[in-house]
Structure 1
Amino acid sequence: MNDNQFDNNEINEMVQQSDEHIRKLHEIVQKTLEEEKLIVNNLLNPPAEILTPGQQVSDKVARFGGSWKFIIIFTVLLALWIVYNSFVAKQDQFDPYPFILMNLVLSCIAALQAPIIMMSQNRQEEKDRQRGENDYLVNLKAELEIRSLHQKIDMLQEEQIKQLFDSQVAHLKLLNQMAEKIEKLEKDAKD
C-alpha cells in the first residue's frame, strides 16, 4: 500500500510540475502581450506636434508652393501680365517690354519663397530623423524581445527535458516494481 501511495505521490508531483510549466508559459505570453500593447499604443498615438505660427505658415507656403495649383495659377498670371503689357496701348502698360517689374516681382517671390520652403524642409528632415530613431528603437526592442523569448523557450525546454527525464525515472521505478510483483506472483503461483 505504501508503494502505491509513493507512486501516486510521484504521479501527482509530475502533474503539478506540468501545471507549473503551463502556468509559466501563460505568464510569459501575458507579459509579452502587455509590453506589445504599450508599443502599439505609442506608435498609433504619437505625441501631438506643437507648431509655432511661423512653422505653420512655412508648411502652408511649402505645401502650396510645391503644388500643381501654384504652378498653374502662377503660369496664368505671368501669361496675363505679358499679354496685357504687350497688346494694350503704350500709355496703359504698367510694365512694358522687357518686363522689368515682372522680373523684380519674380525675384522677390523666389527670394522669399526659398527660405520659407527650406524651413519647412528642415522641419520635415527633423521629423524624418525622429521617425528613423523611433524605427531603430522599435527594431532594437524587437531584437531584445526575440532574444528574451529565445532564452525563455530554452529555459522551458530545459524544464521539459528535466520533467521528461524525471517522468522516465518514475516510469522505470514503476516498471521495476511491477516486474518485481509479477516475479513474486509467479513465484507464489509455482509454490
Structure 2
Amino acid sequence: MSDHQIPPQDGPPQDGDDSVEPTFPSADPEDAGGLLSSKRQPCAISGKRRPKRDLIALDALRPSLADRIRHDHPHLEPDAQISRQELARYRSLYVAELLKEEHGELSELDREVAESLARHETLAENPEEEYDDHRTLGERLSDGLASFGGSWAFLISFAVVLCVWMLINILEGEARAFDPYPFILLNLLLSCLAAIQAPVIMMSQKRQEAKDRLRSENDYRVNLKAELEIRHLHEKMDYLIQRQWQRLTEIQQLQLEIMQEKRLRK
C-alpha cells in the first residue's frame, strides 16, 4: 500500500459523506388502521361505521322520535349510536306519519315539508321573481297594458282625448268635421278598444291568480314547517326539563345519603 492511499474506514459515516442516507422509523400501517378504526363506530341501525361526530345517542333524542325508531328496532339499547343519515330518514318518516294522522292523506306540499325538515332546508322563497323571469314577450306586453289601463294616467289621458275629439268635431261643424255628431267613428274606436282591452286584462288577471297561488302554497309550506319546528322544540324543551329534574333529584338523593352516613359515623 502506498503512502498516498487512504485505508477504508469502518463505522458510521463522517460528515459530508452522502453515500449513506439516514433512516427514519416508518409508521406501522396496522397501527394507523387501528387508530382510524377506533375513531369510527358502527351505526346501530345500518351497521355502517361512521365517525363519532356523525353519531347521536338514542337517549339524546326526544321521546317521540326515539319511540318511532324503537318501533322498527326494538332491540336498540338506550345508549345506541345512530348516524345522522338514519336520523334524518326517521325524522322524515315521523313527520310524514304525523301529518298523515292529522290531515289524512298526504299532499305533495306536505311531503315537501317533511323532506325539508329531514334535510334541514329552508322553504322561504319569492315565487314572484321566478315567475316574472319566465314570462314571454306577449305576457310582458299584456301585463304592461293592463297595468297602464288601470292607472290614473290612462283615465286622464283618455278623457283628454275624448274631449279634444268631440270639441274639434263640434267646432268644425257638420260640413267640415271628420266625425260629426253623434261621433260614430269615436264609438267604433271605443268599441274596438274595449274588445281588445278586455282579453288583455283577463290574461293579466290569470297570471296574477297563478302568482297568488304560488305565493299561497309557499306560505302554507313555510307556516306548516314553522308549526312542526315549534312543536318539536316544545317536545325537546319538555324532555330536557324532565331529564334535568331527574338528575337534580338523583343528586339531591345522593346528598341526603351522604349526610345520613356522616350522621351515623358521628
Aligned-pair distance for 1:55? 0.9
Q: Cα deviation per residue 1:120-157 (whole Å; 9 max; x = unaligned)? A: 11111111121111111111111101110111011101
Aligned-pair distance for 1:100? 0.6
| CA distance in structure 1 between the aligned counterparts of 2:208 and 2:140, rounded to whole angstroms | 12
Aligned-pair distance for 1:110? 0.3
Aligned to 1:53: 137
Aligned-pair distance for 1:108? 0.3
For 1:3-82, what aligned pairs fall within 5 Å after superposition?
38-39=122-123, 42=125, 47=130, 49=132, 50-82=134-166
For the pair 1:156 / 2:202, whether they are aligned, the reply is: no
Relative distance call for 1:156 and 1:63 in structure 2 (3 A) is same
For 1:105-184, what aligned pairs fall within 5 Å after superposition?
105-181=189-265, 183=266
Amino acid at match of 1:60: G
Relative distance call for 1:81 and 1:138 in structure 2 (3 A) is same
Q: Give the match's secondary structure for 2:122.
A: helix
Higher relative contact order (CA closer than 8 Å, sequence separation 6+): 1
Report if the CA contact (8 A) 2:127-2:211 is conserved.
no
Relative distance call for 1:152 and 1:46 in structure 2 (3 A) is farther
Counting aligned pairs with the same residue, the percent is: 47
Relative distance call for 1:45 and 1:162 in structure 2 (3 A) is farther
Amino acid at match of 1:127: K
Aligned to 2:70: none
Aligned-pair distance for 1:53? 0.6
| CA distance in structure 1 between the aligned counterparts of 2:244 and 2:155, rounded to whole angstroms | 70
| CA distance in structure 2 between the aligned counterparts of 1:103 and 1:57, rounded to whole angstroms | 25
Report if the CA contact (8 A) 2:174-2:181 is conserved.
no
4+ long deviations beyond 2 Å: 37-40, 42-49, 89-92
Q: Which has the higher strand share?
A: 2
Q: Calculate the TM-score normalised by the size of structure 2.
A: 0.52
Q: Give the match's secondary structure for 1:180.
A: helix
| CA distance in structure 1 between the aligned counterparts of 2:130 and 2:155, rounded to whole angstroms | 35
Amino acid at match of 2:163: A
Match of 2:177 among 81, 93, 107: 93
Aligned-pair distance for 1:90? 3.4
Q: Calculate the TM-score normalised by the size of structure 1.
A: 0.71
Unaligned runs of 5+ in 1: 1-22, 25-31, 184-191
Amino acid at match of 2:245: I
Relative distance call for 1:45 and 1:75 in structure 2 (3 A) is closer
Q: Cα deviation per residue 1:17-39 (whole Å; 9 max; x = unaligned)? A: xxxxxx99xxxxxxx9xx5x935
Unaligned runs of 5+ in 2: 1-59, 62-116
Q: How many residues align?
A: 150
